[in-house]
């Protein structure tokens, strides 16, 4: 019966970063309307500046989630956790074709993996953001999640295509620092202040993805629940000591949306939240299943959800 379930709360867990998005209007799974507008095929949306700027916002959010899920958690080939390292790769030649540049980057990571571990495949985990100059030349900005220390001159020698630069993000501790530093290269302007919209329009790349990643990275977990205000308030109270950000926005389709973010260092607390969500979802599934079998069993189970939260508060909250 899950196809008939609604939700008014979205919980996203990206590493130690937890976000609650509370909707004033319920949304429905697999909800359909009559004569919906035909969506554009992937890569075929209108090439307007407004759409380009919206795509930047979406890409930056995804980059943040990827970084939050993978910073300081992916071991190298020897099982050791490495501090993230941010490198910029440039081309001495006038390389403007992204496919050519990507091919060189792929071969470089294989050479680097061979240098580090003597393996003939890439074992490095990263997120990479290509950047174009006004003249069309490509740069790569890469955050490596499990790269051991490599001396700059050796790194540049292995790259073999131009200059390399390493940035001092290794001293930063907060996930927001890493995310902000990387995401600034997904912007309406490049690092030289040149208009990215004009550059991407000229290269016919407005619908191209603004970043790419290695395989096997951790992804955020997203849960969607339908809960009442009392249970939502209990969940907020449980997380109040970890609060880091709140905001809101509104539109005609989903009404008002309240956003609250939390930074939680305690892995037990993260697992506690996951357990609570899974239990609440199980209860929702049971309620909806029983409701369609016997309407008299459609009862309010919010008190049960509150007990789940309160029990976990005693175990894990400060």
CATH number at residue 84: 3.30.70.1910
Regarding whether 248 and 198 lie in a shared domain, the answer is no
**Both tokens of residue 79?**
């099982």
Residue ranges making up the domain that contains 298: 2-31+219-316
Give one word for 219, left, alpha or beta, with left for phi > 0 and alpha for psi -120 to 50. Answer: beta
Q: Tell me what pLDDT residue 279 has.
A: 85
- Mean pLDDT by groups of 10 residues along the chain of 318 residues: 67 92 84 53 65 91 91 92 92 93 96 96 96 92 94 96 81 67 87 91 89 94 88 90 92 86 89 86 72 50 47 40
Regarding whether 287 and 199 lie in a shared domain, the answer is no
Please provide residue 55's backbone torsions phi and psi, each rounded to the nearest 5 degrees: -65, -30
DSSP 145: S
**Both tokens of residue 304?**
């049960």
Residue 61 lies in a domain: yes
Residue whose pair of structure tokens reads 């403007």 in the numeric block: 96
**Both tokens of residue 109?**
């990571």
Regarding whether 232 and 201 lie in a shared domain, the answer is no
Regarding whether 55 and 151 lie in a shared domain, the answer is yes
- The residue from 180, 206, 232 where one domain ends is 206
User: In 3-state terms, what secondary structure has residue 5?
Assistant: coil
- The residue from 184, 206, 228 where one domain ends is 206
Helices (H), 31-117: 49-70, 98-117
Regarding whether 189 and 155 lie in a shared domain, the answer is yes
Q: Tell me what pLDDT residue 48 has.
A: 87
Regarding whether 190 and 137 lie in a shared domain, the answer is yes
Number of domains, the chain: 2
pTM, two decimal places: 0.80
Q: Tell me what pLDDT residue 227 has.
A: 85
Regarding whether 132 and 59 lie in a shared domain, the answer is yes
Regarding whether 193 and 90 lie in a shared domain, the answer is yes
- The residue from 160, 179, 206 where one domain ends is 206
Could you tell me how far CA 10 lies from the centroid of its own chain? 15
Q: Are 206 and 52 in contact (CB under 8 A)?
A: yes
Q: Tell me what pLDDT residue 19 has.
A: 94
Q: Are 130 and 140 in contact (CB under 8 A)?
A: yes
């Amino acid at each position: 019966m899950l196809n008939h379930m609604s939700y008014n709360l979205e919980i996203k867990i990206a590493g130690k970063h937890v976000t609650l998005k509370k909707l004033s209007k319920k949304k429905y799974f697999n909800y359909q309307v009559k004569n919906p507008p035909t969506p554009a095929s992937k890569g075929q949306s209108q090439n307007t500046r407004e759409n380009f700027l919206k795509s930047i916002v979406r890409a930056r959010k995804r980059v943040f989630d990827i970084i939050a899920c993978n910073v300081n958690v992916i071991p190298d080939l020897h099982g050791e956790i490495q501090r993230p390292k941010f490198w910029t790769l440039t081309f001495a030649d006038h390389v403007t074709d992204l496919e050519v540049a990507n091919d060189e980057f792929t071969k470089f990571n294989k050479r680097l993996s061979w240098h580090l571990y003597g393996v003939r495949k890439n074992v490095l985990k990263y997120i990479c953001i290509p950047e174009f100059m006004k003249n069309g030349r490509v740069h790569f900005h890469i955050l490596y999640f499990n790269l051991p220390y490599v001396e700059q001159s050796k790194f540049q020698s292995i790259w073999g295509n131009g200059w390399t630069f390493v940035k001092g993000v290794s001293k930063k501790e907060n996930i927001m620092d890493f995310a902000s530093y990387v995401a600034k290269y997904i912007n309406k302007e490049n690092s030289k202040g040149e208009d990215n919209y004009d550059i991407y329009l000229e290269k016919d790349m407005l619908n191209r993805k603004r970043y790419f990643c290695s395989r096997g990275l951790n992804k955020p977990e997203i849960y969607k629940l339908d809960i009442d205000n009392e249970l939502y308030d209990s969940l907020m109270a449980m997380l109040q000591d970890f609060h880091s950000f709140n905001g809101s926005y509104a539109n005609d389709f989903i009404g008002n949306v309240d956003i609250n973010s939390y930074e939680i260092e305690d892995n037990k607390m993260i697992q506690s939240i996951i357990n609570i969500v899974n239990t609440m979802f199980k209860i929702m599934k049971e309620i909806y299943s029983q409701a369609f079998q016997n309407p008299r069993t459609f009862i309010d189970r919010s008190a049960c959800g509150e007990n789940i939260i309160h029990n976990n508060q005693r175990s894990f909250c400060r």
